[in-house]
Every structure is written in structure tokens, then in C-alpha cells.
Structure 1
């Protein structure tokens, strides 16, 4: 019987864990520790840890995988295979070298493009037309291991980061099941990555969350949906933070100053970008509930003509 350790943390990883456990069985799940969540700072397990408990799989939640304890825990299982999916920690070579069938990573991009911790967010923000999932061998260098298999999907204008997370999670689970039989029999291909073609997608920073309008409407639109539904982009309105959850592209040209609220739309309000108007459709002003943008502008019609993006 194949012994498998699975390592993952967010919602993206849960369908992959479930499918892997259903088909092969998982002997140990390793996930990040519980963290305080929300205004009340309630200690909450990450989604993979919660799923492991529901599935009745042994769970280990270390702060770091570089400790002697972590090495001992993995060595005690002596896995034939390690599978990771958005785990959030680099693994030391001492652990990577344990499984006889290797350590695989289910990565949410078409490597070598978008190595790093935020490949889905960055693909949307960058305006990529397609993305996908790559199954690769883990290596000491981040997301640089040999490629075993990959599958691509298109990114449409109706997608945001949340919808792509769901799509790619399902693709990842399916692709992993297609790939594992050859991995476990040693018949799989291994294609080295071309480092010269690599791009990097670091985790989203606080500065990345600021929506600015002094660029093309397409870029503004991609930025907004690339941060939706989390962490959610924001701008400043009358000194208060205004979160922007969703928007639509228009073909309406404008010569208004970027960031200017130019008027009401059928389902929200228009804001000027550098070339065209962007239709904002869902917002949340600091201290208020999330609101559809049409109700927001109807209740605040005096805001028409104001400019978004003034400093806090």
C-alpha cells in the first residue's frame, strides 16, 4: 500500500486532498497552524486542516517544516509520496529526499510562468488570457522543479480570482489523479523548466491592494477582479477607504481626470480611467456594509464629480 503525506492550507487544496484520499488514501495531512480570524480573533484552522479532521486523517500543524520535530514526523510515516498544494512553506531537502516516489506539487499556473505564492491573483491582474495547473517535482528552488504534466484553461472577462481558484482546484484534482499512476510506476515524463522563461508572482502586499485609476480601463478592471473576492482592492473616497468588489468594462471614452466619478450607470456608477470609463458595481465604504454600487450612488448622489484616490 502506498503511503502518502499531503501538505496544503487554503480552500484551493481541499478538493485535491479529498480526491487523493478517496482514490489512494492519505496517511498524514500537514497544514498551517490555526490562526486568529475576524474582529473577535477566533482561532481558526485553515481549510485543509478542517477537512483533514472531518475525513479522520491524522493531522500535523507545525509552525515550520525546518525543525527536527517536522523531520521526525515525516520520517515516522516514511511516505512513498508527498503531495503539496498551496502549502505555504518551503520544504528542506532532508524532507524532499524521503519519499521514494518523490515530492510533487500541484501548482496553479503554467510553469515556468507565475512561480510563487499568488499565481492566480497575478494572472488575473496581469490580464493573462489563460492559466492552468502544473504537476511538478519539488526542488530546493521555489517552483523550479521538473514538470510532469500540465493542463490549461482560458481566463474570461467574467472570471475573478475566486472563480479561477474554484476552476483550477478541480483541474488540479483531476490532473493529479491522471498523473499519479505513471508517477507511482516510474513511467512519467520529467521536463526541466526553462529558467529564462520564468516569471514570479509573490504574495499580494498591502500596496498591491490599492486601486489606482491613472492607467487604462482594462488594467483597472483586471486589478479589481484580480483582488476579488479576497483580499479586495480599495481606493479612498473623502478620506475613507472604499473597497471595490466588482466592476465592468465599458467602451465609453472619457477625458475626465482619472478617478473621477462621472455619473450613475444602470447597475452602479462610472469612474474615469486614463482612456475609458469603468463601471463600478459593488462597493463597501469603511464602517458600512457591502452594497451594490447603484444603491450606494443613489444614496450619495453628491459624490458625482468627486475624485477617488485621494490620500488617507
Structure 2
């Protein structure tokens, strides 16, 4: 089949590659325009554009999904449009003009975790199972019929990076299987139903800051859910520090304040007191403007002091 592809992020790239390596033909890629990045503020292409150009796939850069987008899409020959981490809301007109031609890769077991942040949200909730769904795109967010889905376990130590990797591992071949079966006229999607529907929201800047008065489990889940990008952070001394890996310590120091460092030792660890009588052991940190480092390197280089407070 001929496939038009829409995506923009690193997560989207392996799905594009998988389709291009299959029996199907990618006839065009739609992605957002180059943006200024880095210290030099140079215009840089996003990962999907770079991938498409390296494979000789025509790229259509867009700034929105209005009339210009509709006109460009009409110039591309396709049987289906595959949408993966596109980052733009499609207007209802596209579904009227090309009905039944839209597929989405959604990183959850729909109808659970509809919306923009399913992988982050499932980790924030401390869930131990998630999955990936290939569903029809309709105007109502993530409400289209399900073509296929598969679940997998989440380990206690899994971060957002780990979850993205596992979603690609299971989701990319699942997508190709769906496309193959559609082409062979051997697939019938099913409606989602009304039970088990939950929604996620867009992650805001305020969600990245660690609240040390929360319980240890909640704090560690936030760190896992935001690692490595955008990264949960805490204020310490004169700057911000991203916390990329951490684990729960069963008991904290009841006489210490929330956010107080109760151990800063290469043998004992870098341990921060938190709410509900617990504590968190920091494993991997990234000081502002620096590369990630383990807690021993951070202790050696920055000398955090027992009794000092993080988060202020």
C-alpha cells in the first residue's frame, strides 16, 4: 500500500523506518517546519525530517493543519495515513475528505490513557502494565476503532526512555502486521467501548519540579516518568539539578525536613528525606549545564552537605 506518514519526534522515527523497510511504500512525510535550536539558535530539522531525507522520501514541512496542509496532502498519493507522535491536532475536514484512511500508533492500552501523555502518565500512576494500540484516527481524541493492541509489563526501575524503547519494540511490528492485513483485506477493527476510558493531560513546566513533601514512591515515579527528557528537577544551592534515576528508601529520618539531605556519602549514598516518613536515594543526577553523572561523581565534584535542603 501507499502510505503518507505524519510524525515529528525521536519516538516516531523507528515506525517510519519500519514502514519504509516493509512491502509498503511511503509516498510522503508530513512534519513541522525547522526550528531554532541550541546555543547558536540555528534552524535545525526534526528527527523525522532527517530520517525521511536520508531515505529519499519526499518531505512536506507544515506550520499548521489549515488550508495549505489540506492542499499539500491532496497532492500525495496514499491508501492510508499513519500518524505517530505528530504533535498537531488534525481538523475534522481531513476525516470527511479522506474517511477511514487514518491509522495512529498510541502508546497505551486504549481506551485507557487517551490524550497527549500516556507513557508519562502510566509511570506517574506507578502502573505495572501498559501497552501499545494501533487505532483509527477520528476527530474525538484517541476514540477510534482498534485494529490491534498488545500489552507488556513495566519494571519498577523503568523510566520514560525504557518505556519508549519497549513501545517501539512491540509497536513497530504490530503496525506492519496491521498494514499487511489491511492490504490483504483480512482485518476488521473493533470499537473501543465505553468502559475503562481514562484521559491524560499535557505536561506543564510546573509538573517537572520535585515536591519533596510528597511520598517517596510518588517522587520516584515522577523521576521515572520524566527521565531522561524533559527531566524532573529540584533546586539546590544556586541552580537546578535534574534527577534522572532514584529509588525508594523505606524509612527516612522523622526529625529531618522534607528535602533535607540525610546522607551524602559514597558508601551510604545520596539520600534525601521526603514526606510520609520515607526517603529517596538519588542514583543519577544532571547539574545545570552539565552532563549526567552518578551520585558518587556528584558527591566528589559538588560536595553536597548533610543537613542542607533541596528544593529551596
TM over 0.5, shorter chain: yes
Tell me what 1:59 maps to.
59
**Residues 152-167 of structure 1: matches in 2 within 5 Å?**
152-167=151-166
| Corresponding residue SS for 2:29 | strand
| Corresponding residue SS for 1:31 | strand
Change (3 A) 1:118 1:179: same
Tell me what 2:50 maps to.
50
Partners of 1:292 and 1:203 in 2: how far apart? Answer: 30
Tell me what 2:219 maps to.
220
**Residues 126-145 of structure 1: matches in 2 within 5 Å?**
126-145=125-144
Tell me what 2:271 maps to.
270
Tell me what 1:27 maps to.
27
Residues 201-260 of structure 1, C-alpha deviations (whole Å, 9 max, x = no match): 222210011011112211111111111110011111134222212212233443132211
- Of residues 250-259 and 211-220 in structure 1, the stretch that sits farther from structure 2 once superposed is 250-259
- Structure 1 residue 93, shift from structure 2 partner: 2.8
Partners of 1:19 and 1:298 in 2: how far apart? Answer: 44
Tell me what 1:85 maps to.
84
| Corresponding residue SS for 1:197 | coil
Residues 74-95 of structure 1, C-alpha deviations (whole Å, 9 max, x = no match): 1122421111111111222332
Tell me what 1:76 maps to.
75
Query: Unaligned 5+ residue runs, structure 1?
Result: none
Partners of 2:206 and 2:193 in 1: how far apart? Answer: 30
| Corresponding residue SS for 1:27 | strand
Tell me what 1:279 maps to.
281
- Of residues 267-276 and 78-87 in structure 1, the stretch that sits farther from structure 2 once superposed is 267-276
Partners of 1:84 and 1:288 in 2: how far apart? Answer: 35
Partners of 1:161 and 1:267 in 2: how far apart? Answer: 27
Q: Is the 8 A contact 2:264 2:304 kept in 1?
A: no
Partners of 1:156 and 1:177 in 2: how far apart? Answer: 27
Partners of 1:182 and 1:267 in 2: how far apart? Answer: 55
Q: Is the 8 A contact 1:242 1:284 kept in 2?
A: yes
Partners of 1:172 and 1:293 in 2: how far apart? Answer: 34
The alignment yields a C-alpha RMSD, in angstroms, of 2.0
- Structure 1 residue 299, shift from structure 2 partner: 4.4
Q: Is the 8 A contact 2:129 2:152 kept in 1?
A: yes
TM-score (norm 2): 0.92
Q: Is the 8 A contact 2:100 2:136 kept in 1?
A: no
| Corresponding residue SS for 1:168 | helix
Tell me what 1:249 maps to.
248
Partners of 2:248 and 2:304 in 1: how far apart? Answer: 24
| Corresponding residue SS for 1:116 | coil
- Structure 1 residue 51, shift from structure 2 partner: 0.4
Change (3 A) 1:100 1:184: farther
**Is structure 2 residue 296 aligned with structure 1 residue 294?**
yes
Partners of 2:290 and 2:45 in 1: how far apart? Answer: 28
Partners of 1:132 and 1:30 in 2: how far apart? Answer: 26
Q: Is the 8 A contact 1:268 1:282 kept in 2?
A: no
Q: Is the 8 A contact 2:11 2:164 kept in 1?
A: yes
Change (3 A) 1:37 1:302: closer
How many pairs align? 308
